[in-house]
């Protein structure tokens, strides 16, 4: 149910921003959107760690010491947002009656749901498990293929997948997806390293990443301003270079790497993500006709979320597989506990190094794809007139 809400609110926020602001200032508007999309999940580890490490009194409630406490903080905020939206929101687009295609709803839910379910099970069962990983993903892909075929034959599609026929939109959406993999994937792996290898608490591991999260908040609006001036290609090229620069050294982390060093590298990565994410999204929307904004936003968000989920699953599975392959035998635990602990720690490091190497490969692929982007700013084109209107 939470995911359904996010699936409505996130694309809606972008559609409203793209509608309210004209092409000349759209980059700055999307930069503010990027502040929310990028900064909120990045702050999550620090805030969650603060709640979990000790008890706190917030809004008359006692929070802390239990993961359920996190939702005690979220619920009042959700209620406040509901009240404010009821009072202050107004429609900015022309509304019309639309019939809900039940078949498309079921196909999209089952197809994407099974694909993501299979990817989520990878860290528990590995890629070779047929029942929980391979079978759900195969069925999911087949259902998605039928969903796409059905959409292409609908007069008013549930999700207009034909927007991906626009090469510039498809390329830029792929780059947005790679940006999210770079952000979400490492945000998941790095706190595990901080806690399991370095022995930091949830709060202190999150605090180590906080300066990087703040970089997204600072740079997203600035990146939007420069997008309005120069377009997305230069920003994306520089951004993915920074992501590479901040990711490659993670492959050499040790049990004694200073936390300041980790914080600095993470900040470098987040500089790249802050510069890259929303200019690419603005460029993707600019490649479409103005009447395709809503459908394009939905398609872009769908691709981004699927890629982030699959990318995170791949990074987690590579890490866990490498750890399992390098773990010492259980007999060593009895014969020499200290040697077992040392080798187990080294196995964990091998897993993290492999995961960060793969994240660097994703960033390198994105850096190469940037060279195929359109030069300069891409402005939305009006819907072409029909022959009758002409």
3-state secondary structure 276-336: HHHHHHHHHHHCCEHHHHHHHHHHHHHHHHHHHHHHHHHHHHHHHHHHHHHCCCHHHHHHC
pLDDT at 297 over 60: yes
String of b and e for 226-237 (b: at least 16 CB within 10 Å)? bbbeebbbbbbb
pLDDT at 58 over 60: no
- In degrees rounded to 5, what are phi and psi of residue 61? -110, 150
pLDDT at 354 over 50: yes
- In degrees rounded to 5, what are phi and psi of residue 379? -100, 145
Q: How far is CA 3 from CA 191, 235, 297, in A?
A: 23, 31, 17
Whether the CB-CB separation of 344 and 198 falls below 8 Å is answered with no
91 within some domain: no
Residue 48 sits in the same domain as residue 141: no
Mean pLDDT of 84-113: 85
Give the domain extent around 299.
2-53+159-370
Phi-psi label, residue 59: left if phi above 0, alpha if psi -120 to 50, beta otherwise: left
Residue 284 sits in the same domain as residue 359: yes
Nearest one of 240, 86, 222 to 178, comparing CA atoms: 240
Residue 264 pLDDT level (bands cut at 50, 70, 90): very high
pLDDT at 118 over 90: no
The pLDDT of residue 240 is 93
Whether the CB-CB separation of 366 and 242 falls below 8 Å is answered with no
Mean pLDDT of 307-318: 82
Mean pLDDT of 166-185: 86
Q: How far is CA 339 from CA 2, 199, 252, in A?
A: 45, 19, 22
**Residue appearing with tokens 């790679």:** 178
Mean pLDDT of 339-353: 86
Per residue in 224-263, pLDDT tens?
A: 888 888 888 889 999 999 999 999 998 888 888 888 999 9
Residue 182 sits in the same domain as residue 277: yes
The pLDDT of residue 331 is 78
Q: Is the pLDDT higher at 344 or at 237?
A: 237
The pLDDT of residue 242 is 93
Residue 291 sits in the same domain as residue 238: yes
Phi-psi label, residue 355: left if phi above 0, alpha if psi -120 to 50, beta otherwise: alpha
242 within some domain: yes
Residue 124 sits in the same domain as residue 238: no
Domain boundary among 117, 136, 155: 155
Nearest one of 119, 178, 184, 138 to 363, comparing CA atoms: 178
114 within some domain: yes
Rounded percentage of the chain residues whose pLDDT exceeds 90: 14
pLDDT at 369 over 90: yes
Domain boundary among 122, 155, 188: 155
Rounded percentage of the chain residues whose pLDDT exceeds 70: 92
Mean pLDDT of the chain: 82
Hey, CA dihedral for 16, 18, 24, 28, is it positive or negative? positive
The pLDDT of residue 146 is 95
Residue 218 sits in the same domain as residue 316: yes
The pLDDT of residue 38 is 67
Q: Quote the CA–CA distance of 231 and 151 in Å, as a whole number.
A: 32
Count of the separate structural domains present in the chain: 2
Using alpha carbons only, what angle is made at residue 275 by residues 313 and 382, rounded to the nearest 5 degrees? 95
Q: Quote the CA–CA distance of 184 and 8 in Å, as a whole number.
A: 20
Mean pLDDT of 77-84: 90
Q: How far is CA 141 from CA 104, 191, 389, in A?
A: 15, 31, 41
355 within some domain: yes
389 within some domain: no
N- to C-terminal Cα distance for the chain? 46
Residue 105 sits in the same domain as residue 249: no
Residue 309 pLDDT level (bands cut at 50, 70, 90): confident
Residue 17 sits in the same domain as residue 136: no
257 within some domain: yes
The pLDDT of residue 56 is 59
Per residue in 270-295, pLDDT tens?
A: 899 888 888 888 888 878 877 777 78
Residue 237 sits in the same domain as residue 169: yes
Residue 168 sits in the same domain as residue 26: yes
Residue 214 sits in the same domain as residue 252: yes
The pLDDT of residue 387 is 39
75 within some domain: no
Residue 279 sits in the same domain as residue 355: yes
Mean pLDDT of 11-36: 79
Nearest one of 142, 141, 161 to 151, comparing CA atoms: 161
218 within some domain: yes
CATH number at residue 12: 1.20.1250.20
């Amino acid at each position: 149910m939470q995911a359904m809400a996010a699936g409505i609110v996130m694309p809606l926020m972008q559609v409203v921003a793209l509608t309210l602001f004209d092409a000349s200032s759209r980059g700055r508007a999307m930069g503010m959107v990027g502040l929310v999309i990028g900064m909120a999940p990045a702050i999550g580890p620090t805030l969650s760690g603060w709640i979990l490490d000790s008890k706190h009194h917030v809004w008359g409630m006692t929070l802390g010491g239990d993961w359920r406490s996190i939702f005690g903080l979220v619920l009042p905020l959700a209620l406040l947002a509901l009240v404010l939206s009821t009072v202050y929101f107004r429609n900015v687009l022309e509304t019309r009656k639309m019939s809900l295609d039940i078949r498309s709803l079921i196909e999209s839910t089952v197809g994407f749901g099974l694909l993501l379910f299979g990817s989520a099970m990878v860290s528990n069962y590995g890629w070779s498990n047929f029942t929980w990983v391979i079978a759900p993903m195969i069925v999911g892909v087949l259902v998605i293929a039928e969903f796409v075929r059905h959409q292409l034959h609908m007069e008013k599609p549930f999700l207009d997948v034909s927007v991906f026929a626009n090469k510039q939109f498809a390329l830029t959406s792929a780059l947005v997806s790679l940006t999210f993999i770079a952000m979400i994937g490492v945000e998941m792996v790095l706190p595990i390293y901080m806690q399991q290898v370095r022995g930091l608490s949830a709060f202190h591991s999150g605090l180590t990443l906080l300066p990087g999260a703040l970089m997204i908040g600072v740079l997203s609006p600035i990146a939007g301003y420069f997008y309005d001036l120069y377009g997305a290609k230069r920003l994306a090229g520089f951004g993915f270079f920074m992501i590479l620069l901040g990711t490659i050294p993670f492959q050499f982390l040790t049990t004694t790497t200073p936390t300041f060093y980790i914080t600095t590298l993470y900040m470098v990565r987040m500089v790249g993500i802050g510069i890259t994410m929303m200019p690419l999204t603005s460029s993707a929307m600019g490649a479409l006709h103005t009447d395709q904004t809503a459908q394009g936003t939905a398609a872009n968000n769908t691709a981004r979320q699927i890629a982030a989920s699959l990318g995170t699953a791949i990074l987690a599975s590579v890490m866990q597989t490498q750890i399992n392959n390098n773990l010492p035998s259980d007999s060593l635990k009895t014969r020499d506990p200290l040697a077992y602990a040392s080798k187990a720690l080294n196995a964990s490091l091998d897993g993290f190094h492999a995961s960060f190497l793969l994240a660097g490969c994703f960033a390198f692929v994105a850096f190469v794809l940037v060279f195929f982007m359109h030069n300069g700013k891409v402005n939305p084109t009006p819907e072409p007139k029909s022959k009758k209107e002409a």
